[in-house]
Amino acid sequence: GSTIGVIGGGQLGRMLAIAAANLGYRTAIYAPEASGPAAEVAWRWIQGGYDDAAAVAAFAASVDVLTYEFENVPVAPLEALNPMPHPRALAVAQDRAAEKAFVEGLGGRPAPWAVVDDRARLDAALAKIGAPAILKTRRFGYDGKGQARLKNEGDADAAWATIGEQPAVLEGFVRFDREFSLLIARGQDGAIAMWDPVLNRHDDGILALSIVPAGIAPDTVKQAEALARAIVEALDYVGVLAIEFFDTHEGPVFNEMAPRVHNSGHWTIEGAVTSQFENHIRAICGLPLGSTALAAPRVEMRNLIGAQADEWPTILADPAAHLHLYGKGQGRPGRKMGHVTKLVF
């Protein structure tokens, strides 16, 4: 097919559309907003609600291949439309309880956890897991939103209020050395490609910095890669999937996954032979996957969070800096305005 339909029109859609254009495809975006970061590079922008099943189906009928760049799209309207990845991946990843149970079923190890569907169950979960712990809404959390930390049992009421008294999971606090993620691509023929693990540093729950190599022990990497493979195979996944891990002395602890291209993979645009965006497009279009080999011994990606336009010249004063701006108007606090990648030789 020659038109790729992307559900969601943010920066991930923008970078997917750029990769698609390089391979000779045009991109149509479907999103609830009138415009967004993907608009400047998209061939067509269709405005519509994610849960408007008729509109989503009409969009799907107007494109040759359907994918998504936003993980909270309702699953039901997509079910008969054959998007890639299959919506079963969305269903698992949208619910932290389903996701953890799924990963445990494959031999993966999340933090100790318990379902907390009401206030009384929070006490039971705390008794089981102990403090410190983190209470997270089962659905719709991102950038550390929808979470509350509990230092001891006395924090239960406050934590329950903080997350808006919603269905949640309680997680034991993992004492990790560092955080890393794995990006894995799987083609329609089942071929698999993985990039090197990437070290991630967060500021206020938002990804701030990604560095490759991540400095993870080879045995930990092996275990994380085995789980990544098991996940994409169990889901018969097509496209790029991101998995976040905590690095501990006892090996990798699964945090969460995203059934899409991911911020911690932006370094691959210049830092790898083939980017996560290109391999996602290749996968969903039935093309062979490209090499995920490093393009430099060290790659650093910094997010421009809440940054302002007057900073761009300073960033570009470093001739090795690759600046990516997402076309967002104003640098509100916490807003991802762009990112900078640097290859270090």
Q: Say whether residue 140 binds ligand ATP (CB under 6 A).
A: no
Tell me the one-letter amino acid at 191.
Answer: A
Rounded Cα–Cα distance for residues 137 and 188 (Å): 33
- Which distant-in-sequence residues (6+ apart) come within 8 Å of 320 by Cβ? 342, 343
In the bound state with ligand ATP, the residue whose beta carbon lies nearer, of 282 and 336, is: 336
CB of 287 to Mg ion, least distance (A): 29
Contact mark string toward ligand ATP, 163..202, x via CB under 6 A:
--------x-xx----x----------------------x
Rounded Cα–Cα distance for residues 213 and 211 (Å): 6
Reference 268, options 288, 246, 290; nearest CA is 290
Q: Say whether residue 143 binds ligand ATP (CB under 6 A).
A: yes
Residues in the chain: 345
CA 52-185-272 angle, to 5 degrees, is 120
CA atoms within 13 A on the CB side of 124: 9
In the bound state with ligand ATP, the residue whose beta carbon lies nearer, of 69 and 244, is: 244
CB of 326 to ligand ATP, least distance (A): 16
CB of 95 to ligand ATP, least distance (A): 12
CB of 88 to ligand ATP, least distance (A): 20
Contact mark string toward Mg ion, 200..239, x via CB under 5 A:
----------------------------------------
Q: Is residue 152 exposed (0-12), middle (13-18) or buried (19+ Cβ within 10 Å)? A: exposed
Using CB under 6 A, which of 29, 111, 211, 243 touches ligand ATP?
111
Residue nearest to ligand ATP (CB): 174
Contact 255, 160 (CB under 8 A): no
Specify binding-site residues.
96, 136, 141-147, 171-174, 179, 202, 255-256
Specify binding-site residues for ATP.
96, 136, 141-147, 171-174, 179, 202, 255-256
